[in-house]
Amino acid sequence: MFNDSEIVKKVLEGNVNAFESLMLRYKDLVMRIVTKHVPFSEAEEMSQEAFIRAFQSLSSFKGKGDFRQWLSSIAVRTCYDYWRKVYRSKEVSMCALTEKHQKWLEEVISDQSDPSFNEDSERKEATEMLEWAMNELSAEDRMVVELIYLEGLSGKEAAELLGWSVANVKVRAFRSKNKLKKLLKETIKR
């Protein structure tokens, strides 16, 4: 059983087929990351894109580092690039909020218990609300909110994944949190 660095070395020496064992090892990880950040219908393509990017930049992987972390970073940046492209081409689908969503929001705000979705309809409204809120943010803010507030990563961890400075991530996190707050306020006021 070869470790990641040894497999990378083999691939760089010309044994391209060895890359498949890396794919087998990290397929689930990449899928998990990608499905969280991009629409479900795009997940397969983006996962493929992430592995192709990883293959293309394999020589920049420093053997001493953690391959898992390196690949996670590529997957996250692939998702970020996907959103940048979508926002640039203005293809973001804006789902309109209905009374149901508003009601859901008001219930969550007034309910003291932990949010758990007992019914499929509640889950659907929550998912749509999440999608709506994320679509209202920029590609950068979206990634920061997802990594920090929804996945619970630290500023440093998010910065490493995105390849940004910690200060940049922290400032963005603060601003995007305020943006979200403002959005929710406006939704309630409607």
Is residue 151 within 8 Å of 36, Cβ to Cβ?
Answer: yes
Rounded to a whole number of angstroms, the minimum distance from the CB of residue 44 to other proteins is: 6
Candidate segments 53-61, 80-88, 92-100, 160-168, binder of other proteins by CB under 8 A: 53-61
Among residue numbers 131 through 190, which ones bind other proteins (CB under 8 A)?
133, 146, 149-152, 180-181, 184-185, 188-189
Q: Measuring CA to CA, which residue among 127, 124, 163 is closest to residue 147?
A: 163
Examine residue 40 and tell whether it contacts other proteins (CB under 8 A). yes
According to CB under 8 A, which one of 11, 139, 143, 144 is a site residue for other proteins? 11
Examine residue 57 and tell whether it contacts other proteins (CB under 8 A). yes
Examine residue 95 and tell whether it contacts other proteins (CB under 8 A). no
Is residue 12 within 8 Å of 59, Cβ to Cβ?
Answer: yes
DSSP string, 34-60: HHHHS-GGGHHHHHHHHHHHHHHTGGG
- Close Cβ partners of 139 (under 8 Å, ≥ 6 residues apart): 80, 83, 84, 86, 87
Which tokens sit at 163?
Answer: 């390849």
Contact set with other proteins (CB under 8 A): 11-12, 14, 16-17, 19-20, 23-24, 27, 31-32, 34-36, 40, 43-44, 47-48, 51-52, 55-60, 105-106, 108-111, 114-117, 123, 126-127, 129-130, 133, 146, 149-152, 180-181, 184-185, 188-189
